C-alpha cells in the first residue's frame, strides 16, 4: 500500500471547503443553527405556559431534539453526491488521472465536507451559545461546549454514512433516496422499533440488550451523551430506568461515535478501491 | 522495443461476455505521436483508461516509463502525464484560472505558471470568468491547458479537437507540433481522420477491441494497396487533348476514369503510377497540370473495415 500524501488530501479538502464557503452553504447552515437554537432555547417551554431562557440542562435538552433532526439531515444532504456526483458529471475520471490515490481523494472529500459542517455547527451553535451563556452564566460553558462537540461528532457520523452511500450508489438519484431513507431509519423509526421491542418483550431486554441497541444508532448515542450528565433531563426522558450507568461512560459513548465515523468511511474506502 | 515508453502486453478487458479490449499488444516509443483510431465502441477509450490506470485490465500488463500502471510507483509517473478525456467535465463554479490552479496543486506544480498556460490556449481574456459561462470550445481549450500543466513528457488526448472551431483546431495542432519538437510523447484519438493523418508518426486501427492494423499512415496505405487518384487538367481539347488522353489510358489498361470539360479524374494502382505518369508525359503541352492524390486515412480505415464486412 502506498503512503498517504497529505498535500493532495489537503488540496481536495480545501476545494470542498472553499466551495461551501463560496456558495454560502456554511453561512446559511450556521445561521439556521443560530436562529433555531435561540428560538428553541427561548420558546422551548412555551407548552408549559412559560417563555424565556431556563437552566443550561433544560436548554441543552431542548437543543438535543433540534440537533437530532437537523444535523443528520444536513450532513446526509452535504455528502450524498460527493463521489457519485463527480462520477455522474464525468469529473471523477480526470481527478483520478492526477497523482492522487482513490483513498486520498475520498479522505480529502470527507475532510473538506467535515470542515464545512464542523465550522457551520461550531459557529452556528457557538454564536447562540455566547448569547445563552450571557443569560445563563459562565458555569454553563463546559456543558454547552460538550454539546457542540457531540453535535459535530453526530454530524461527522452521518456525513461518513453519506460518503459511503455516495461511493456505493449507481447514480445521484439513488444516492439521495438512500440518504433520506437512512435519515428516516436512524432519526425517526429506529427508536420506535426499539420501543416496540421493549413493550413486546415486557421489559425483559431492558437492562442487557436494549442499551447496546442504542449504541447502534449515532443519534441515540448523541442523545445519551447530552442527557446523561443532567439529573433533571434524565428524569424527563425516563432513560435512567433503562440505561445502565456502565454504558453511560462518556468515553465509551465517544468511542462508539468515533466508530460510527470510521466504519462507514472504511466501507467506502474498501468499495472505492 | 527496448526504448518503449508505453508497453502493453496481452491486455484484455472483459465486462461479462463483452470483450471491450481483446488481446492488445502495443509499444509506443518515447517522442512519438501515436494515433488510435477506430469506430465508436472499438475499445479506444477503454484502452486509454487502462493506460492511465483508471481501469484494471482483466489480464495482461501495461507499463509506462517502466512502472506498472496499477502499481504504487505509478503515482510519480502520473506527475509527468497529461490527460484530456473525451467527455471533459470541469467545475462550473470555478473560473478558468481557479480550475488550472486546482489541477496544478494536485499535480504539485507551481501555480504561478497558470496564467501563462491560459494565454497559451487562448483563454487569457476569460481567465476570471466562471467555467459555467464557457462555450464548448473554451472548455476544451481549458481541458487542454490542464493536460499541459507541468510540462508532461506523455500526453493522452482523447478526441482533443472536439468542439473546437477551425482556428482552435489550427492552434491545437500548432501546440502539438511544438510538443513534438520538444520530444513529448503523444497518444491521441480522433474520429476526424483527415486531421490526424499528417500529424501522427504511427497509428493503430482498433476494431472490436483488437488492433487490426498498426504502422505509419504510408505503410498502412501500401499494405492496403489502395488505388491512387490522379487529376489531369488538359490544355487542349478535342483530338489533341481528350482523345489523346483516352488513347493513353486505354494503352495503360485503365478504364476507371471520368473525363469532362478538359479535366480527367483517374484511378490507378500504386504499381502502375510511374508507367502512367511516363505515358502522360508523352502528351507534352496538351497537359496543363497533373495532381496525384494518395488515398486518405479515411480510405485506409474504410479499406480495413470493409475487409471484415
Nearest to A121 by CA among A70, A46, A186, A183: A70
The single-letter DSSP state of residue A241 is G
Exposed, middle or buried: residue B113 (CB in 10 Å: 0-12, 13-18, 19+)? middle
Interface touch B88/A90, C-beta < 8 Å: yes
Q: Which of B54, B90, B107 sits opposite A99 (nearest CB)?
A: B107
> Residue B1 pLDDT > 60, yes or no?
no
Task: Say how many CA atoms lie within 13 Å of A64 toward its Cβ.
Answer: 27
Mind listing the pLDDT tens digit for each residue in B162-192? 888 888 898 999 999 999 999 999 999 887 7
ipTM score of complex: 0.87
Q: How confident is the model at residue B123 (pLDDT cuts 50, 70, 90)?
A: very high
Domain boundaries, chain A: 6-272
Q: Is B110 on the interface with A (CB under 8 A)?
A: no
Distances in Å between the Cα of A122 and the Cα atoms of A30, A151, A218, B287 are 8, 9, 19, 88
Q: Name the least confident of A172-181, B150-159, B286-295.
A: B286-295
User: Is the pLDDT at A110 greater than 60, yes or no?
Assistant: yes
pLDDT at A52: 77
Polymer length of chain A? 273
Which cell numbers in the block locate residue B21?
Answer: 479490449
- Whether A239 shows a pLDDT value over 70: the answer reads no
All 3 cell numbers of residue B146? 490542464
Nearest CA in chain A to B85: A94
CA atoms within 13 A on the CB side of B79: 10
Torsion of the alpha carbons at A149, A155, A157 and A158, rounded to the nearest 10: 170
Asked whether residue B2 carries a pLDDT value surpassing 90, the answer given is no
Q: What is the pLDDT of residue A97?
A: 93
The per-residue pLDDT for range B13-51, each reduced to its tens digit, is 999 989 999 999 999 999 999 999 888 888 998 999 999
Q: According to the per-residue pLDDT averaged within each range, which of A48-57, B95-104, B246-255, B299-308 is highest?
A: B95-104
Of the candidates B146, B133, B130, B198, the residue with the CA atom closest to the CA atom of residue B169: B198
Whose cell is 479522505? That residue is A107
Q: Mind telling me how many Å the CA of A99 is from chain B's nearest CA?
A: 5
The set of residues, in sequence order, having a beta carbon less than 8 Å from that of A112 and lying 6+ positions away, is A12, A13, A14, A15, A16, A17, A19, A20
Cβ-nearest to B93 among A2, A11, A22: A22
Nearest by CB to A99, from B49, B78, B89: name it: B78
Q: CB distance A91–B91 less than 8 Å?
A: yes
- Judged by CB atoms within 8 Å, which residues 92-111 of A form the interface with B? 93-101
B175 at A interface, C-beta within 8 A: no
B62 contacts: CB under 8 Å, gap ≥ 6: B6, B7, B8, B9, B11, B50, B51, B53, B68, B69, B70
The Cα–Cα gap between A156 and A218 comes to 10
Helices (H), A169-189: 172-183
Mutate to test the interface with A, among B72, B75, B108, B146 (most CBs of A within 10 A): B75
Query: B89-120, pLDDT tens digit by residue?
Result: 999 999 999 999 999 999 999 999 999 999 99
User: Range with the lowest mean pLDDT among A173-187, B61-75, B254-268?
Assistant: B254-268
Amino acid at each position: 500500500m502506498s503512503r498517504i500524501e497529505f498535500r493532495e488530501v489537503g488540496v481536495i479538502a480545501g476545494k470542498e471547503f472553499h466551495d461551501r464557503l463560496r456558495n454560502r452553504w456554511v453561512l446559511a447552515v450556521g445561521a439556521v443553527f443560530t436562529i433555531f437554537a435561540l428560538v428553541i432555547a427561548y420558546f422551548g417551554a412555551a407548552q408549559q405556559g412559560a417563555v424565556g431562557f431556563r437552566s443550561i440542562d433544560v436548554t441543552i435538552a431542548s437543543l438535543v431534539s433540534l440537533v437530532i433532526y437537523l444535523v443528520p439531515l444536513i450532513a446526509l444532504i452535504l455528502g450524498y453526491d460527493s463521489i457519485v456526483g463527480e462520477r455522474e458529471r464525468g469529473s471523477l475520471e480526470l481527478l483520478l488521472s492526477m497523482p492522487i490515490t482513490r483513498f486520498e481523494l475520498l479522505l480529502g472529500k470527507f475532510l473538506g465536507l467535515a470542515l464545512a459542517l464542523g465550522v457551520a455547527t461550531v459557529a452556528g451553535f457557538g454564536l447562540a451559545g455566547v448569547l445563552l451563556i450571557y443569560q445563563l452564566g459562565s458555569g454553563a460553558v463546559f456543558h454547552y461546549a460538550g454539546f457542540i462537540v457531540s453535535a459535530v461528532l453526530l454530524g461527522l457520523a452521518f456525513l461518513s454514512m453519506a460518503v459511503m452511500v455516495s461511493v456505493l450508489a449507481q447514480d445521484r438519484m439513488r444516492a439521495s433516496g438512500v440518504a433520506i431513507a437512512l435519515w428516516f431509519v436512524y432519526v425517526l423509526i429506529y427508536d420506535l422499533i426499539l420501543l416496540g421491542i421493549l413493550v413486546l418483550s415486557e421489559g425483559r431486554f431492558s437492562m442487557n440488550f436494549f442499551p447496546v441497541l442504542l449504541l447502534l444508532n449515532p443519534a441515540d448515542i448523541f442523545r445519551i451523551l447530552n442527557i446523561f450528565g443532567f439529573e433533571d433531563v434524565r428524569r424527563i426522558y425516563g432513560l435512567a430506568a433503562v440505561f445502565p450507568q456502565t454504558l453511560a461512560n462518556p468515553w465509551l459513548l465517544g468511542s462508539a461515535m468515533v466508530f460510527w465515523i470510521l466504519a462507514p468511511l472504511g466501507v467506502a474506502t474498501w468499495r472505492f478501491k | 522495443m527496448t526504448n518503449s515508453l508505453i508497453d502493453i502486453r496481452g491486455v484484455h478487458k472483459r465486462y461479462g461476455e463483452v470483450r471491450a479490449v481483446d488481446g492488445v499488444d502495443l509499444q509506443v516509443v518515447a517522442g512519438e505521436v501515436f494515433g488510435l483510431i477506430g469506430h465508436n465502441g472499438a475499445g479506444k477509450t477503454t484502452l486509454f483508461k487502462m493506460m492511465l490506470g483508471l481501469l484494471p485490465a482483466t489480464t495482461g500488463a501495461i507499463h509506462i516509463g517502466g512502472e506498472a500502471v496499477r502499481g504504487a510507483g505509478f503515482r510519480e509517473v502520473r506527475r509527468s502525464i497529461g490527460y484530456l478525456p473525451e467527455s471533459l467535465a470541469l467545475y462550473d463554479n470555478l473560473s478558468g484560472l481557479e480550475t488550472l490552479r486546482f489541477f496544478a496543486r494536485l499535480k504539485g506544480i507551481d501555480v504561478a505558471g497558470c496564467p501563462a498556460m491560459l494565454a497559451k490556449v487562448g483563454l487569457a481574456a476569460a481567465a476570471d470568468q466562471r467555467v459555467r459561462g464557457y462555450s464548448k470550445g473554451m472548455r476544451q481549450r481549458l481541458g487542454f491547458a490542464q493536460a499541459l500543466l507541468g510540462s508532461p513528457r506523455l500526453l493522452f488526448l482523447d478526441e482533443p479537437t472536439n468542439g473546437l472551431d477551425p482556428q482552435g483546431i489550427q492552434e491545437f495542432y500548432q501546440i502539438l507540433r511544438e510538443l513534438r519538437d520538444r520530444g513529448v510523447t503523444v497518444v491521441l484519438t480522433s474520429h476526424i481522420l483527415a486531421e490526424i493523418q499528417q500529424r501522427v508518426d504511427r497509428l493503430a486501427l482498433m476494431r472490436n477491441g483488437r488492433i487490426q492494423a498498426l504502422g505509419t499512415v504510408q505503410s498502412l496505405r501500401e499494405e492496403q494497396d489502395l488505388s491512387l487518384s490522379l487529376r489531369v487538367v488538359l490544355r487542349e481539347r478535342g483530338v489533341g487533348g481528350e482523345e489523346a488522353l483516352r488513347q493513353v489510358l486505354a494503352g495503360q489498361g485503365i478504364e476507371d476514369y471520368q473525363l469532362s470539360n478538359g479535366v480527367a479524374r483517374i484511378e490507378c494502382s500504386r504499381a502502375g503510377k510511374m508507367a502512367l505518369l511516363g505515358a502522360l508525359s508523352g502528351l507534352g503541352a496538351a497537359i496543363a497540370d497533373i495532381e496525384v492524390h494518395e488515398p486518405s486515412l479515411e480510405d485506409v480505415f474504410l479499406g480495413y473495415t470493409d475487409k471484415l464486412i
